[in-house]
Amino acid sequence: MIVMAHGLAGVKEQRLDAFAERFQAAGYACLVFDYRHFGASSGEPRQLLDIKRQLEDWTAAVAYARTLDDVDADRVVVWGSSFGGGHAIITAARDCRIAAAIVQCPFTNGVASTLAIPPVTSVKLTLWALRDQLGALTGAAPVRVAAYGPPGSTALMSSPDAEPGVRAMTPDDVGVAKEVASRFALQIVRHFPGRHARRVSCPILFVICETDAVAPAGPTRRYAAQAPRGEVKLTTAGHFEIYVGEHFEQTVTDQLAFLAHHVPVTS
């Protein structure tokens, strides 16, 4: 069983289904979920991204997967992409029963990702986040900020490939909210999931985008080297290219090879 979830503001229809279909065709069952407050999951207010709650969602999803018929509770794999990749690292570090982990273009270092944001944008995001956090104390509606946008925009991701990349991985018939509660910007710089890699005892595959403008490759490579059973696959894809086209085909092929070696399909 492979438990799968997306990254920052992402939902399962944004190409996680494509990965799951390939895994399923190879004989693996998949449980793909949306975090609370997003997509098909419940939770108010909508579009509230909270790291602690999302990690709780991972724990709950793994626990639920282990209760399903025909699922070996000791052969559960966690698979996370982007911000969800960081969550998958932490989940694997906390749960010694996880059989293997796959993290692609993972968010591993809050400072590195914050420094990848233009300074003026960072200042604006901080001000919006403070306003939102103060409003939350009085029960005010969330102050939302764009999760992605063109360069120069006030968005959490504004690299040149962010807006076209998200559009390329989002089906035309799927309505996906673009904004998140801006208080999340206060959490990013203090979040270092890569530091947990040294405590991941299971095999873990890091798929690292060498030209990643959102989750810089340098820190992730250093963290991957600390994982006792870490493996690395480098790709020339950017942070968003990994979901589509030839980069998707190569990445899913590499991941299937990793799974076949460490968690082979059984009868």
DSSP string of 176-199, one letter each residue: ---EEEGGGHHHHTT--GGGGGGG
Give the integer Cα–Cα distance in Å for 222 and 176. Answer: 34
pLDDT at 173: 75
Prediction pTM value: 0.96
Condensed to tens digits (0 to 9), the pLDDT of residues 114-143 reads 999 999 999 999 999 999 999 999 989 999
Q: Tokens 């390939």, residue?
A: 22
**Would you write out the chain's pLDDT as a tens digit for each of its 267 residues?**
999 999 999 999 999 999 999 999 999 999 999 999 999 999 999 999 999 999 999 999 999 999 999 999 999 999 999 999 999 999 999 999 999 999 999 999 999 999 999 999 999 999 999 999 999 999 899 999 999 999 999 999 999 999 999 999 998 877 777 899 999 999 999 999 999 999 999 999 999 999 999 999 999 999 999 999 999 999 999 999 999 999 999 999 999 999 999 999 986
SS3 77: strand
Q: Are 82 and 239 in contact (CB under 8 A)?
A: yes
Give the integer Cα–Cα distance in Å for 132 and 182. Answer: 6
pLDDT at 196: 98
pLDDT at 165: 95
Sequence spans of domains, the chain: 2-117+192-262
Q: Could you tell me which residues come within 8 angstroms of residue 22 by beta carbon, excluding any fewer than 6 positions away?
A: 252, 256
b/e burial code for range 30-51 (CB count within 10 A of at least 16 → b): bbbbbbbbbbeeeeeeebbbbb
Nearest to residue 5, comparing CAs of 113, 172, 14, 202?
14
Question: DSSP strand E in the chain: where?
Answer: 2-5, 30-32, 77-81, 100-104, 144-148, 155-157, 179-181, 204-209, 230-235
Q: Which CATH class is domain 2-117+192-262?
A: alpha beta
Nearest to residue 215, comparing CAs of 162, 177, 164?
162
Q: Are 34 and 53 in contact (CB under 8 A)?
A: no
Q: Are 89 and 101 in contact (CB under 8 A)?
A: yes
Q: Tokens 């990254």, residue?
A: 7
Give the integer Cα–Cα distance in Å for 249 and 92. Answer: 25
Distances (CA, A) of 149 to 20, 152, 239: 27, 8, 14
pLDDT at 172: 82
